[in-house]
Structure 1
């Protein structure tokens, strides 16, 4: 058994500020917290030796999947000289600071076509009031709400915004038709419904995730949306949305390929202490079998299995992998 995306790990500059933002904007609450550090965590999370962090896991009250793990990395006992100078500017780090000044690995989004985890997608009952709350809480808008048809039985008011660290949030209000798989809704801001990822080949990536147990919700080529996505004229967006059958449609994978607008992997930049979506976590009941499966599908191990105290689950056997486009996948088996 391999689960949907149970948790998404996001590195932030100020943990208290980020927690307040998600609480004020989406009514998220703390569902667990813990320290990040030690040799095993360094291996699994690609953390430089000596780096530590604090994590708070958030989501709607009672949520058990589609959770958000916010992490602030701590430089107080870290020697900046240990950083790889090709990736980090040591002069930007101050060991006297409580937090670390890692940069957003997407930079200023001047290369939106690059590959990796790109956006957190959250469903809201009313798009305009949600955007007002987001701005009041310290976020900012990238694009105003735009209406588009997803499938014949599903349309959406969609918007792109930034959280206080510049992480892209796709905040949307759905208009599902009768019989749509997404018609059932409790009327409050959702867990992370999907994590959007830019890929080089949407069909190849879809085949990878289908082999993990995901099934297709929709497969659509979106055209004439260049102004919304701020893309070169004539660029199409091949969008494939996948979910794990069972009790929830949250924790989905959303694959986005900019057709005719190739990018590059960001695996060397999507690492602590840089800010942004670092990884997605999937639960397995047999880590060894899962590791054999994903390696056979072309994933590359980041490390061997390690024992980690993993918020919010506690002790777990963990192994991380680079997916087909360099995205980090964390598989965990609870003890």
Structure 2
């Protein structure tokens, strides 16, 4: 069995600054902190030989999925998305976090050192759910989709405790949304919605007349946290960021999923065409303890880490 997304790994310049930003903006708490290095992490995380990484795991109280894994390396890097001048390129793109009130959340984000990209905009997600959606940057230039939901009683997203959530969604820009959705369906994800979004080019900062094919995938046992959101700008082709989305460059580097059987998961991944990043290794994973893990490339060269607790 494969889980929803347990962690999203984000490389940052200054670990203490990044931790303060997420603590002050979203009330996240530290779950673990460690220093990692060595051959096993070089295989799993594509670290250059001899590199050391400082790691902090953050999230709301009690979160076991949708946690944020911040990493600062002992060598300088640059944001691999640059200034987002090519937003159509493929790869892990944004972190999506639900908040109780969008206006107050954006104010807190700015006060903590973030900046806005697109002002809150209301759109209909499904007949039962509408969103006040905003795009912002964290201090390292990572895109944050911060949103407030209006939900009908009994809808999929109606179960909400009224606080800032763990990472509800990791967003993936794809060259082929349907192909990507088939890949994640094979892992156990199921579509919450599959729609073409039009007339929001100003919000997404894309050329006029470019529709967004948006497929939001959920794990049945975790419908709100740890989802995969697939986004394709139709008719606006991009390119893989596989060679740029590597340490020590900054940005979203991987999504981590837990499995009850890493060997069987490896067979499944090979059957659906996933390419291994490195060999399987045993490591002490900050926040999870002793695990056996292996990373693979997804259909748009996004890195997915699968781990089994030992």
* TM value normalised by structure 1: 0.91
Aligned length: 310
Match of 2:234 in 1: 259
In the alignment, is residue 61 of structure 1 matched against residue 67 of structure 2?
no
From 75, 91, 96, the equivalent of 1:116 is 91
Match of 1:36 in 2: 36
In the alignment, is residue 314 of structure 1 matched against residue 299 of structure 2?
no
In the alignment, is residue 160 of structure 1 matched against residue 135 of structure 2?
yes
The answer to whether the 8 Å contact 1:120/1:169 transfers is yes
Larger radius of gyration: 1
Distance 1:264 1:215 in 2: 26
Distance 2:49 2:38 in 1: 8
Distance 1:36 1:264 in 2: 31
Match of 1:93 in 2: none
The answer to whether the 8 Å contact 1:34/1:312 transfers is no
Q: After superposition, what is the alpha-carbon deviation per residue over 1:62-85, rounded to whole angstroms, capped at 9, x for unaligned?
A: 1111100001111xxxxxxxxxxx
In the alignment, is residue 22 of structure 1 matched against residue 29 of structure 2?
no
RMSD value over aligned CA atoms? 0.8
Q: Return the offset for 1:252.
A: 0.1
Q: Return the offset for 1:249.
A: 2.0
Distance 2:156 2:6 in 1: 20
Match of 1:245 in 2: 220
The answer to whether the 8 Å contact 1:281/1:332 transfers is yes
Q: Return the offset for 1:248.
A: 4.8
From 178, 184, 191, the equivalent of 1:216 is 191
Distance 1:257 1:286 in 2: 32
Structure 1's consecutive aligned runs of 4 or more residues displaced over 6 angstroms after TM superposition are none
In the alignment, is residue 52 of structure 1 matched against residue 27 of structure 2?
no
SS at match of 2:70: strand
Distance 1:248 1:69 in 2: 21
SS at match of 2:95: strand
Q: Return the offset for 1:314.
A: 1.4
Distance 1:2 1:12 in 2: 28
The answer to whether the 8 Å contact 2:99/2:148 transfers is yes
| 5+ long unaligned stretches in structure 1 | 75-99
Distance 1:260 1:162 in 2: 26
Q: Return the offset for 1:176.
A: 1.1
From 292, 299, 303, the equivalent of 1:324 is 299
Distance 1:117 1:69 in 2: 14
In the alignment, is residue 294 of structure 1 matched against residue 269 of structure 2?
yes
The answer to whether the 8 Å contact 2:31/2:58 transfers is yes
The answer to whether the 8 Å contact 2:156/2:223 transfers is no
Which stretch of the first structure deviates more once superposed, 271-280 or 243-252?
243-252
In the alignment, is residue 129 of structure 1 matched against residue 97 of structure 2?
no
SS at match of 2:153: coil
Match of 1:73 in 2: 73
Distance 2:301 2:36 in 1: 23
| 5+ long unaligned stretches in structure 2 | none
SS at match of 2:40: helix
